[in-house]
Amino acid sequence: KSSAKKTLKFCQAIIPAEIMSFNKNPFLDNYHNIKNTETNFNIYNTPADYSPQDVDQRENVLVILDCSYSMDDKVRGNRKIDIARDVINDVLGQLPKNINMGFRVYGQADGGLFGLDGCKATELLVPIGNKTQNAISAQLKNLDAVGWTPICYSLDQAINNDFTRIRGRKRIILVSDGMDTCGGNPCDFAIDLMKRRTDVTIDVIGFDISSEPEAISQLKCTALATHGKFYTANNAAEFTKSLKNSLNVQKEVEGKIFTK
């Protein structure tokens, strides 16, 4: 595992910039009035009139989980991928009855020496449907942190494939511990998405990214541009609160909500 991580980091250092470039985020310039707050658990929500879905109307939710190699790092002694697996599995048991859920991962494969195939490493493990908790739990057991972070490609696959022939509200819950490492910019993707369709929102849980301001900005923009929520979570408890709030499992959550 250690040698594999070192190889990936070495490859990131030598791959041409056009492949590995981290694009500047226009959100920094266009939305400079949005400030981070020094709280342990932050929620950013837009627009001001956003409200939870009606409990009588089914909502289609796709969880997209980061399985990149950085999720092998530890938070308070536990690997981030293990924390994510445990949190998701626990919240599944409390899922509201009005939610249809699916499960997609990215970074689940390293993509070979230069990681080029790794930038397309994303897979729909459980299609969106009713009563999929057991199927998702079974898939969670087999996950490990090995690859890169193709956020844009994963979102594109989700939007264009996973929601096909599905009517009603559509929401993605994206979990990531960093930026896109394949040259994409999910902020730009989200802004462009809203020009084409308005039936999809993206909630983002930024896990252990408090020391990465550029990642925070990129992921925050991805959520706010689609009228979704952005959460920062630095440990298992905050991750749990974030996911529960996104799924409306609990109504009261510590933290602050920003509407602009």
Region 71-258: CATH code: 3.40.50.410
Contacts for 9 with CB less than 8 Å, ≥ 6 apart: none
| Residue 49 confidence (pLDDT) | 40
**pLDDT value at position 195?**
94
Q: Give me the pLDDT at residue 65, please.
A: 98
pLDDT in tens, 247-259: 998 654 444 444 3
pTM (2 d.p.): 0.77
Counting other chains too, the contacts that 28-34 makes at CB distance below 8 Å and 24 or more residues apart are: 28/217, 31/221, 31/224, 33/260, 34/220, 34/224, 34/258, 34/260
pLDDT < 70 regions, the chain: 1-56, 111-116, 250-260
* pLDDT number for residue 58: 85
Nearest 5°: phi and psi at 216?
-60, -45
Residue 116: the pLDDT is 56
pLDDT at 57: 76
Instruction: For the chain, give every domain's residue range.
Output: 71-258
